[in-house]
Each structure stands twice: as structure tokens, then as C-alpha cells.
A = this chain, B = another copy of it.
Amino acid sequence: MDDVMVTRTRALKHVQVREYVRTLVDGLEPGAPAPSERELVTRFGVARMTVRQAMDALVSEGLLERMPGKGTFVARPRRGVQRPIGFSEEMQRRGLQPESQTLLSRIEQAGPGVARALGITEGDAVLHWRRLRRADGAPMCLQDSFLNEVLLPGFHQKHMPTSLFDALALRGLRPTWVEDAISAGPATADEAALLEVEEGAPLLRVARRGVCGEVTVEVSRSAYRADRFTMWVQLGEDG
């Protein structure tokens, strides 16, 4: 019992140093000097290796930058990796109110394309969820989502308010990595009717595979009204 408390509450020294430096440096301009390693050694009464461990963490997370012979300084913020988001968050970022109208929600047998994308066998149970997605009340996107039923028992019983990503997050299955195939094409008659455009109007089509850990959680096909939606992607690191 005591052990647990001690273990849980003991502040590791390198963590203490790390967080001290983090708060010191928070809000400073890039190029501002951080305390030197030996200064931290005397301040915390700790070995230099311990300080280096703390600083290593801050350097590798991109907060600090080492300049041999000169010192350690606040690094300029680096462009990070784009975190995958779903329709709801995408719209909220644009200041639009996402809405969702469920057109279909049922268990189906996976077809060949969906089965391959989900990494399951053709005919396995999948939850197929088709929604007309609006932004500020205007039709924006027609979206078919396919989920591996085995991973999400009872999932389709729940009422989904808006965000599939939020619902997956509650089960610890929010995709951390997605692969999109983006194309363009004319609207079919059905799509045109639902999205309230002319048949043949250009649509932006996105086929997505959403992966969490080692498993593909979601496969979706979305058709966006091209006159209302532009997709933003950032690729690469640093900058």
C-alpha cells in the first residue's frame, strides 16, 4: 500500500527538472536561452546525466535546441504532423455547425472492397452507416462508413449524435492514422438528389481507411459538394 503511494507520488528527478525548464521556457521567443546544464545541476543538486536526460526529452519533443559550445535555446516551433479528424471536427474548425442525418444503419456482409480495406474476410459482419452530413444546415457530404462489427459489439445500437470519431475514441479506437484516396467525379442521380445539386455536378470523393494501432477500424466513402468543400492536407515534417 505504502509502496503504491510512494511509487505514484514520487516525482522523478529528471521529470522535476524537465517540467521546471518547460515552465521557464513557456512563452519565450525562439532563440531565448534556456538554463545551462551545469546551472540546473547546482540548482537541483542533481547529477549532470539527470539534467541531460531532462533536456534530451525537451529537445526531442522539439521545444529546445542545443548549440554545442553556446548553450541550449528555445527552438522555433516546428510544423507537426496533421492529426486525422472526422467530418464533425472538420466542420467545427471552419466555424460551421455539423449535422447528421442517418439514412441507413445496419449490419451487412462485407463486400470484397470493404473486406479488403478492413482486413477481414468477405462476408464477415460489418456495420454500414450511411449519413447525409450538413454544415450550418446545408448539404455538404454523403458518407458511407463501414465498421468491423467484431471490434465494436453493440456499437450500432447506440444513438450516434454526430461524431463517429468521438464515439470510437470512447472505445479507445479513434483512428490515429488514416489513408485517403481523393478523386473527383460527377454526381449520380441519387447523390444529386440528396446533396441538392444537378446530376453530373462535380463532387470531391474521399475513400478513407482509418487505422488505430494495428487494426483498420473504419472504412468510409464520402462525396463532398465541390462547390462547398475544399480539403486541406499538410504533408511532411519540420518546415
A residues touching B (Cβ–Cβ < 8 Å)?
A: 49, 56, 60, 76, 79, 81-84, 175-186, 202-204, 211-214, 226-227, 229-239
Contact = CB atoms under 8 A, between A and B. Distances in A.
A25 to B, nearest CB: 20
Contacts of A175: 236
A81 B56 CA distance: 22
The 8 A-B residue pairs with the shortest CB-CB distance in the complex, in nearest-first order: A184-B184, A184-B226, A177-B236, A177-B239, A182-B231, A202-B202, A184-B204, A183-B230
Contacts of A232: 179-182
Contact of A179 (B177, B226, B227, B233): B233
User: How many copies, total?
Assistant: 2
Contact of A76 (B60, B214, B229, B239): B214
A184 B202 contact: yes
A199 to B, nearest CB: 13
A234 B237 CA distance: 13
Nearest to A237: B81
A107 B183 CA distance: 33
Contacts of A233: 179-180, 182, 233, 235
Contacts of A203: 184, 202
A84 B232 CA distance: 14
Contacts of A238: 176-177, 213
Given A177-B239, A178-B234, A202-B203, 8 more contacts: A56-B56, A175-B236, A176-B236, A177-B235, A179-B234, A180-B235, A184-B226, A202-B226
